[in-house]
Structure formats: structure tokens, C-alpha cells
Amino acid sequence: MLSKFGFFQFSATFSSPAPRKKVHFPQIIAVTAKSRSQMGAASYGTSSGSVSKLLFRQLFEKESSAYTYLLADASHPDKPALLVNPFGKTVDRVLSLVKELGLNLIYAINTHVHADHVTGTALIKSKVPGVKSIISKASNAKADLFVEPGDKICFGDLFLEVRATRGHTRGCVTYVTGDGPHQPQPRMAFTGDALSLRGFGRTDFQAGNSEQLYKSVHSQILTLPKDTLVYPAYDYKAFSVSTLGEEMQFYPRLIKDEEKFKNIMSNSNLSYPKSTTKTNKFVVYCNTQITSHGRKGNIREAESLFHRMPDKSIISYTAMLSAYANNGQIANARKLFDEMPQRTVATWNAMITAYVKNMNTVDGVEEAFKLFLQMPMRNAVSYTAMMMGFVNAGRFDEAEKLYEGTPLEWRDPFCSNVLMNGYLKIGRLEESVRIFEGMVEKNVVTWSSMVDGYCKNGKVGEARKLFDLMEESRNEFTWCSMIDGYMKTGHFEDGFQLFSQMRRESQVEIEPTILTVIFESCGRIGRYKEGCQVHGLVSQLGFEFDVFMGNSIIAMYSRFGCVNEARHLFKMMSEKDIVSWNSLIYGYVQAGRLEEAYDLFEKMDTKDSVSWTTLITGFSNKGLTEKCIKLFSEMPERDDVAWTALISGFVNNEEHEKAVCWFLQMIRNSIRPNPLTLSSLLSASASSAFLSFGLQIHALAFKLDMEHELSVQNSFVSVYSKRGSVDDAYKVFKSIATPNIVSFNSMIAGFAHNGFGGEALELFRKSVHDGHQPNQVTFLCILSACTHMGLVEEGWEHFKSMRTLFKVEPGPDHYACMVDLLGRAGLLDEAMRLIKSMPVEPHSGVWGALLGTSRTHMRLDLAKLAARHILELEPNNAAPYVVLSDIYSFMEKRGDEEQMRLSKKLRGVKKSPGCSWITVRDEVKLFLSGDKSHVNFEEIKITLWTIMNEMTQSDGNNIVLLTP
């Protein structure tokens, strides 16, 4: 079974030999074949009849292709442990593992002659007192003991034999382990030759020929008993562990006929520089070309070359099969697979992968699973490919069953990574965490994926904890995910600081992907200074005129509103794609320069949906919805994004009836809405008379299987909150599998606006505890809740914590909330001091909050000050006139009151009339104060008179009805 440390603990037991004299500090004795019978072997003693279990771990380093083995007795972890082939770069990690296991490391043996291995042995000796070093005599290095090929070693009750050609340059090192000198079964061979025998194209045997390989294999491996367990010395988890007898049965390369062996080897994909024949070179060349044509989509060329090959190897068939699969010709791939004269595990895996990649054209998962069940032998690649098929098809129940049935040695990290990433893609973070925490072996993909997953779910705190644990194993994707996570959650300073740290400390090269994240964030948050700095860095690195990078910089300057700079860079780009044009059009649209945007649009040779949609969005931002309709009607093809842009334009311009009508037309045209479409409609229903329409959208989302889309769920929370249905909003919130900060903001706002301030604050504390980083919107909701509850001290604490704890810069809206909170509490002078301390100019909302609370507490001086500032910012705002008139009236200053009313009238300022509506037969009837334009005005007036007359007669009250 597999222990939590990833060791193989064989259930087979080894009978202990007769009791021997115990020695306090065991020794290891290298015994040559000639002198073995004359020498004894030291051993730590075990009582008669006790059981020993072998503890075995293979440590693999991809960057160095080095293999380190750890041997110990599972029954006695406190007894001496042996490290075989320690590698210099991995010494610290190996020693950390030994310490964690509580093993007593005594020996470090190395039969390699490579300098890195010899250095590794010496490092261990220097770091661990009492360790004895044992190295190959051919290395000419210093050590306590030396070994040569053929030496046999007793390590306690374990037996180890060195089988290697001198110097490790003519063959692969093989170690055989058993129990003591009697070597009872089972035994193990871990070897590089086992991999070459299977024909996977990787071997340590690089300088010989087929004859030398034959001699190496037969002298080192085939002389072992057939039930010896064989471990390939190249990331053993990717291959099956089997007995030597099974290997000989399934792999014809393990034959004892030397001529046949040489013939087979000549057609393999192994490279032997000294004896490569022209025929073998031609086969390798053809295989390479077939693979190349397949990747480039030149399937006819690949097919032609394949059929003209006089001799084909199994690699040729596999290359052609993959070429068919990569170009969607799954039927031809299967036909070739069925015609193959011989198949390897790699061939079966290629066919399974082909089905998985082409799930949309055939029932790929079912066909792949049929093949999977038929495979005579499987390896980790087989399970990983099948797992990917289930995950990509969304069949997680079947993926879980396959995962449970995957042999433990093949489960981590590849199968686990596939299942974990599958859960991350559908937002099931808790399931991903379950897989992650249950993994025994994790690689950089595992850690990086979880960092990315936490970031995308707004939990940058949890992501940073994992990021810090990775230390030197971070790659470009890890850094990019963590930086992007900070940026997307509003923590620009942390993200930019991490980017600077990456430049100082990391060996990762700065790639365009990371720079694009920085540019996007600078543009979105408006950090002009930092954006220019990174632009300067890009110029130094020579990326500026790269199309991908140039587009990102244009988009950044466009978001800054610096369209001239964006246009200058656009002109300097020698190569432009459609994204370049669209980015600049977007810049003009953002700057409100629609004529220039339209002129640039007209000059485009090729327009895509983004081109049209960007322009439609621009006109809708200006309220020119009729122009939007005209552009939309001219589009050659309208996808769901274009329809959504048009509908969102109507919603943003509060033309909700049109939004609904065009949505219905979208449905009639058989265009499937996307989550953003539903979110826009839900926004319309939440802010108009279409509240019941929101329920219909909820039912539609259920039918379209979008009720679990995060953006739609967040919109549902907002809709139900604005309807006053806080219970329904909270039910939707609780149903969200992995809520993000937007989810929490929507629910906190719902609680705050409906008078549940305590619940809002409690939910805020929960979001922080769960690792979500609050943003500016979060604090607006929290300050609003404090205002409604009159919690001045708590409001101050949250306001101050924005900078100190969460590094969120307060904006004018946050100051407006604080002014309102202080003003309602009667602390108007303190509110005024806060306004004066603002780092930016207060907007009308800030002065409006002061104006409103000044009326409440009759502070005429502050009301006049606030009114003056509001009128400077918004001359047509009626609020200052109305509030000052009310204050003058309350203070019985009739002259000032009349003067204020007259001033308002002379300047043509009008207060927005009161508005109400009802829905009759799915049609909204709108009523404005003082409006007589309704087509049924007379009927309505008569009906109202009748109702009022009946009410007067029924209760006897004197009701006066003023006619308009």
C-alpha cells in the first residue's frame, strides 16, 4: 500500500534469518563476487520470527533526469536508512524527507561517476554527522567505501546488488533488492534499461549500439528470476510496475535471440550515434515529418509520406494516428488503429486521447472508455487521458469512480491534477481543495493551479499562503496567477510589489503574459504612472512592437483616455491584427470621440463581432440607441455577444421596455442567451416596474441550466434584495457553491438597504474570515449599513481599516458615506473636517450628504456652503434650492424662502416629478405628477372621483380632491 509519504510498502513479508549478534552501530560491507563466501555481513538484529517490510521511495528530478532511491525497513523506521544515488541539487529536499519520516540515515551510496552525483554524496556526508559515503571506484573521488560492478551488499536484512558497466557510460545502473544473502522472493530491479526495452524513447544508454545494449540487458536483467519486480528508472509513476516475466511476455524486445533483438532495436526510436543505419535514419526522419505535418494541419502530406514509407515502425503508426486525431479525422484514426500489426500502451493511449479531443464530433467519451476497458496493460497516461475525457464532458461522478480505482502509484500528480483542475473550472473550489489536500505527491502544476483557483475565487489570502510555500518551484504561470489575483481583487499595490519582487528574486524570465496582466490592471484601475513605467520596461526588453504586447499597451492607454498615445503606438506597429484595430476603436469610444471611432471602423478591411459590438456600446453610452439599432441591423452575423451589447445598452439608458422586446426577439431568432444577457435583464427588472419579469428570468435560467452561473446568481441576489425579498436573496446566496467577493457584496448590500445592518456586518466578517479580500464596493455597503444603524464608532473603524488592514484606497463615495454617518449623528463639524481632509476634490455626493444632514439639524451655515458647492458642480440640480427653502421656511425667514424659489424659477431649474406605475396585462402604465398626457386620463379621473366619493360616504370623512 501507499503510505502518506508516497512510499511503497510491500505486503509480502521477508522471513528473518537465524538470530545474529546485535551490533550497536551497523556497518555496510562491499563484498566482491570472489570474496563473498569468505566475509560476513553486519546486520542490525531482529528476533526470530519477526517480520521485515521493505520501504522504498524513488525520488525523481525532471530537470536533471536524476533518480534517488531511499531504502529502509518499514517495520523499524528507527533503524538505519540508505540513500542510493543522491543528486547534488536535491540533497536538502531528500534530507528534509528523511527527517520528516524519523529515519536514521547512516549510508549514502552512489555508483554513478557523474560529478553531480558524487557531489550529492559528499554533501550528505557534510550535512549529516555520522553518515558514511560509498561511491563508485571509477569516479576517483574520496569516500569511506568504494563499490564496483558486481559487488553485493548486505544492508541489515536487505540485500542490494550493483549491476552496472564500468563508468556508467555503456549501460544503465541496476540495483536488485531482496532480504539478506539468501535473496528470497519477491525482489526488485529498478533500471533505466527497462524503459528502453519498452520503446518509449528515453534511456541512459546513449553512447552504445544495439549489440552493446543487448549485452547490457541480458547480463544485467534477464539473468534475474522472472518474478522480479521491474521499476523503470524514469519517473516510474508514468509506467506500470510488473514482473520480469510479464515484461518478456508483452514486450518482444525482451527476447533472447540476439539477431532478432538487433533487428527490433534498429526500427525503434532510440538513437545510437555510433551505429545508426541509413534505414533507421530515414524512418526517424519520416516519423518526425509526419508529426510536423499533422501539427500544421497538412494531413494530406502526412498521409502521403506515411503510405510511401517502405518500412514503418510502431512510432510511424502512432504518429499518423495522432495526425489524424489532431485534424479531427477520428474515423481515419480508428481505422488505422484497427489495422496496426502491433500496438503498445502508447498506441492505445493515443487512440483514447484522440476520442477525448474530438468529443464534439463523436461520442468520444464512450468510445474512449470502451478502449480503456479493452487495454491489455495500462499506465498512468491511460488513466490520465480517460480522466480528462470524463472531466471535459462534465461527468464528474464517473471521473470520481475512475479516480478511486486508479492505482495509488499513478494517481498523483497527473490524474489528481486533471480532476482538481476540472473542479476549478466549474467553480467547485471545495472539491478542488479536497483533491489537493489528499495528494501525496504534488508538482508545480498542482500548486500553481490551486493558487490560480483561489485567486479566481477571490481568496487571494489563501492563494498567497500556497504561493509562499512553493519557494523556488514557482514558474511563470504561478507568478502571473498570483499577480493577476491581487489586481483583480483591487489590491494593486500588492500585485505591483509582487511583480517587482519577481524581477529581483525569480529566475523566471519576464514573458509577455505577465506584462499583459500588468497593463490590463493599470488600465482598469487608472494607474497611469505605473503603466508608463512598465511600458518603458517593455521597450528595454524589445517587446514593444510585438503584436500581442502592442495591443495590450494600446488597450491600456485607451482606458487611461490617452487616445493620442494609443494612436501613436498604433501607427508605429509594423504589423497589426484585428485586435489592434479594435483596441484603438475602444479607446476612441471610451474617450467619447465617436466620430473618429466610426471613421476608423469604416477603414477596417475586416471587421469581426468585437468591432461592431464596441461601436454599438459606444453609441449606447451616448444614449444614441437608434444608432445602435441601425448598426446592429447592418451586422452580417449577430452572435449572442452582439445581442447582449444591444440589450445592455437599452438597460443602461433605462429603456427597459425596449430591452425586454429585443430580448424576446433574440429568443425568437434562436440565439441562446449567455449569462451576461440574463444579468442585464435582471438589472432592468430590479430597477423598474419589471420586478415580476425577474421571476420569469429566474425560470428561464433554470431551463437554460444557467441557474448555477456565478454572475447570474449574483444578479438574482441583487434583484430579490431590491424587491425587499431578503429571505429569497439569502437563499440564492447560500446556494452559491463558491461565492466570490461580488456575491458577498450583493448580499451585504441587500441586508444593509433592507434594514438588516447587523446581518450585513456579520456577513462581512464571515467573508474576511473565509479569505475573501474586500474591495471598494464592499466598504460602501458596510458604511451604508453602519449609517442606517447609527454605528458611528464602528463606521470609523471600518473606514480606517480600508487603508491599514486591507490596503483599499477610500474614494469620494466612501467619504460621502462617512459624512452622512457623522451628519446623522449630529457630528456636522467633524464631518466638515473630514471633507477638508479629503485627498481629492469632493464630488456632489459628498456635499449632498452634508446638505441633507444640515437640514436635519438646521445648520444653515453648512447647508449654504454645501448648496454653493453643489451648484458649482451641477447647476441644474434642484436639491440645493429645495433644501434651503425648507430650512428658511422652518426658521420663518419668508423673504429668503421666496428669494430662493424665485432664483430657482428664473434659472429654469425643475425638480424631477414623482413617478409611479402599475402593470396591466403585461403592459406598464406610468404616471407622473402633474402629467395629463395619459390616453385614458379622463376615464382615470372619473374612476378616481367615484372611488373617493364612495370612501367619503362609507366613513364620513371629509376628503378634498384637488382637480388638476
**Of the candidates 638, 625, 634, the residue with the CA atom closest to the CA atom of residue 666:** 638
Same domain, 228 and 139: yes
Residue 625 lies in a domain: yes
Q: Is the pLDDT assigned to residue 354 strictly greater than 80?
A: yes
Instruction: Kindly report, residue by residue over 221-231, the tens digit of the pLDDT.
Output: 666 666 666 55
Cell of 626: 437608434
pLDDT of residue 509: 73
The CA distance from 49 to 65, in Å, is 41
717, 732, 747 — which closes off a domain? 732
pLDDT of residue 929: 67
Same domain, 130 and 246: yes
Mean pLDDT on 881-893? 83
The CA distance from 762 to 773, in Å, is 15
The CA distance from 133 to 109, in Å, is 6
Residue 190 lies in a domain: yes
Mean pLDDT on 66-71? 62
Question: What residues contact 761, with CB distance under 8 A and at least 6 apart?
Answer: 782, 785, 786, 794
pLDDT of residue 96: 74
The CA distance from 232 to 1, in Å, is 19
pTM of the model: 0.51
Same domain, 566 and 710: no
**Considering Cα of 530, then 532, then 535, then 536, what sign does the dihedral take?**
negative
Residue 873 lies in a domain: no
Worst-scoring range by mean pLDDT, 91-95, 347-351, 588-592?
91-95
Q: pLDDT band at residue 244, thresholds of 50, 70 and 90?
A: low
596, 629, 656 — which closes off a domain? 596
The DSSP annotation for 5-70 comes to T--EE-S--EE--S-----SS---EEE-TTTGGG---------TT-EE-EEEEEEEETTTTEEEEE
Worst-scoring range by mean pLDDT, 159-173, 318-332, 462-476, 601-615?
159-173
Residue 157 lies in a domain: yes
Q: Which domain holds residue 652?
A: 607-669
The CA distance from 309 to 927, in Å, is 83
Alpha carbon separation from 898 to 798, 877, 879 (Å, rounded)? 43, 18, 16
Mean pLDDT on 323-349? 86
CATH number for the domain spanning 177: value is 3.60.15.10
DSSP run (H or E) holding 768: helix 757-769
SS (H, E, C) 180-213: CCCCCCCCEEEECHHHHHCCCCCCCCCCCCHHHH
**CB crowding 215-229: b at 16 or more within 10 Å, else e:** ebbeebbeebeeebb
Alpha carbon separation from 784 to 208, 661, 772, 794, 867 (Å, rounded)? 78, 35, 20, 12, 23
Average confidence score pLDDT of the chain: 75
Same domain, 686 and 644: no
575, 596, 617 — which closes off a domain? 596
Q: pLDDT band at residue 893, thresholds of 50, 70 and 90?
A: confident
Same domain, 109 and 179: yes
Q: Is the pLDDT assigned to residue 219 strictly greater than 50?
A: yes
Residue 573 lies in a domain: yes
Q: Say if residue 675 is preceded by a cis peptide, omega within 30 of 0.
A: no
The CA distance from 268 to 878, in Å, is 87
Mean pLDDT on 304-312? 86
The CA distance from 837 to 265, in Å, is 82
Q: pLDDT band at residue 12, thresholds of 50, 70 and 90?
A: very low
Q: By 3-state DSSP, what share of the chain in percent is helix, strand and coil, each rounded to 5?
A: 60, 10, 30
* Residue of higher predicted confidence among 827 and 146: 827
CATH number for the domain spanning 639: value is 1.25.40
Q: Is the pLDDT assigned to residue 5 strictly greater than 60?
A: no
Same domain, 98 and 227: yes
Instruction: Kindly report, residue by residue over 600-630, the tens digit of the pLDDT.
Output: 998 888 888 889 989 998 998 888 989 999 9
Q: DSSP assignment, residue 230?
A: E
| Contact yes or no for 34/204 (Cβ under 8 A) | no
Mean pLDDT on 781-796? 91
Worst-scoring range by mean pLDDT, 3-12, 265-274, 310-319?
3-12
Same domain, 74 and 201: yes
Q: pLDDT band at residue 819, thresholds of 50, 70 and 90?
A: very high
Rounded to the nearest 10 degrees, the angle between the axes of helix 594-603 and helix 578-590 is 160
Q: What percentage of the chain has pLDDT greater than the value 70?
A: 71
Q: pLDDT band at residue 234, thresholds of 50, 70 and 90?
A: very low
* Residue of higher predicted confidence among 607 and 685: 607
Residue 517 lies in a domain: yes
Worst-scoring range by mean pLDDT, 48-57, 378-387, 693-702?
48-57
The CA angle 212-213-217, to the nearest 5 degrees, is 120
Choose the most confident range, by mean pLDDT, from 48-57, 165-174, 831-840.
Answer: 831-840
**Of the candidates 692, 681, 676, the residue with the CA atom closest to the CA atom of residue 655:** 681
pLDDT of residue 154: 65
pLDDT of residue 692: 66
| Contact yes or no for 356/338 (Cβ under 8 A) | no
Worst-scoring range by mean pLDDT, 67-71, 105-109, 361-365, 720-724?
67-71
Same domain, 160 and 122: yes
Instruction: Kindly report, residue by residue over 153-209, the tens digit of the pLDDT.
Output: 665 555 666 665 444 433 344 555 554 444 444 455 555 443 344 333 333 333 345
The CA distance from 218 to 907, in Å, is 105
Residue 44 lies in a domain: no
pLDDT of residue 16: 29
| Contact yes or no for 256/216 (Cβ under 8 A) | no
**Of the candidates 75, 224, 65, the residue with the CA atom closest to the CA atom of residue 157:** 75
Same domain, 175 and 261: yes
Alpha carbon separation from 405 to 369, 400, 408, 409 (Å, rounded)? 14, 9, 9, 11
| Contact yes or no for 152/33 (Cβ under 8 A) | yes
The CA distance from 589 to 626, in Å, is 17
Count how many domains the chain has.
Answer: 5
Choose the most confident range, by mean pLDDT, from 39-48, 531-540, 720-729.
Answer: 720-729
Mean pLDDT on 715-741? 89
Residue 149 lies in a domain: yes
Worst-scoring range by mean pLDDT, 114-118, 582-586, 828-832?
114-118
* Residue of higher predicted confidence among 229 and 291: 291
Same domain, 582 and 724: no
Alpha helix (H) residue ranges in 506-639: 512-525, 528-541, 547-560, 563-572, 578-590, 594-603, 609-621, 625-634
pLDDT of residue 401: 92
pLDDT of residue 686: 65
Q: What's the full length of the chain, in residues?
A: 964
Same domain, 568 and 655: no
Same domain, 238 and 93: yes
Q: Is the pLDDT assigned to residue 47 strictly greater than 80?
A: no
Choose the most confident range, by mean pLDDT, from 3-7, 81-85, 578-582, 944-948.
Answer: 578-582
The CA distance from 430 to 425, in Å, is 12
